[in-house]
Amino acid sequence: MKDKVRLILDKLDSANVTCINYDYYFKGNEMVEDSFEYCDEFDTLYELLIINMYNKHNIDPYNDHNSFNTFRKINGKWFAEWLNPMGLNLEISNLINDNVSAEIIEWLQE
């Protein structure tokens, strides 16, 4: 999993993509809407990182209080961002290493 995630993030970095969402992406400072150019990368990261974490910790991916949204690079590090709970950002390296606090897991299970 770690190698696959690294390959995808390296591909995004090489293309100067700093954010991917299912509906848009940012290339540098330019927002590109209604593009499917990085949907495969989004889907793969979502499956490897988010769904695997949900399955491991018995988190319901269909719970309306738990809406994953975006992968974003901030200050040189990649993060997974949730729309709900608002403000939840987890560093991708922590997701890869299953270094997510019990408090956050409990929050996502609610």
**Which alpha helices (DSSP H) does 15-97 contain, by range?**
39-45, 52-56, 92-96
User: Dihedral sign, CA of 83, 84, 87, 89?
Assistant: negative
pLDDT class for 35, splitting at 50, 70, 90? confident
Q: What is the pLDDT of residue 66?
A: 83
pLDDT at 27 over 80: yes
Question: Does pLDDT of 86 surpass 90?
Answer: no
String of b and e for 54-72 (b: at least 16 CB within 10 Å)? beeeebeeeeeebebebbb
Name the one residue in this structure whose structure tokens are 């769904």.
51
pTM of this structure: 0.92
Q: Does residue 30 sit in helix, strand or coil?
A: strand
pLDDT interval class at 53 (50, 70, 90): very high
